[in-house]
Amino acid sequence: MAWAGICPEDFDFVTLHTESTWCKPNAEYYLEILDRFKLSPEDVIMIGNDTLDDLGALDAGIKVVLIDDFLINRGEINVEDCVRISYADFLSSVNKMAETPCK
């Protein structure tokens, strides 16, 4: 969260290893969260920067967006087919969505 400039206090729910059955990168980690909130994989997007941890979401059927500026690719995983975006462009997109009223 630190790389994105956000704090755990900004959220209603943050996973903790002491309260989770699974951990990243296991797809069950993501599926457990989906189940908790009664969501399907198509309802969410995993925004991340660590290919080893975050791409496990793909195995749960969740779309993954990688932030290039902070990309960690310890396993030298091929990310050419992944959605990738700069941090500035991501923030700009989120801010535009926040300003657009729902229809």
- End-to-end distance of the chain based on CA atoms, in angstroms? 31
Token pair, residue 91, equals 């923030």
Question: What angle (nearest 5°) sits at the alpha carbon of residue 49, between those of residues 45 and 52?
Answer: 95
27-66: pLDDT as tens digits: 999 999 999 999 999 999 999 999 999 999 999 999 999 9
68-83: pLDDT as tens digits: 999 999 888 889 878 9
Residue in 4, 29, 3, 27 with CA at minimum distance from that of residue 16: 29
Residue 16's φ and ψ, nearest 5 degrees, are -130, 140
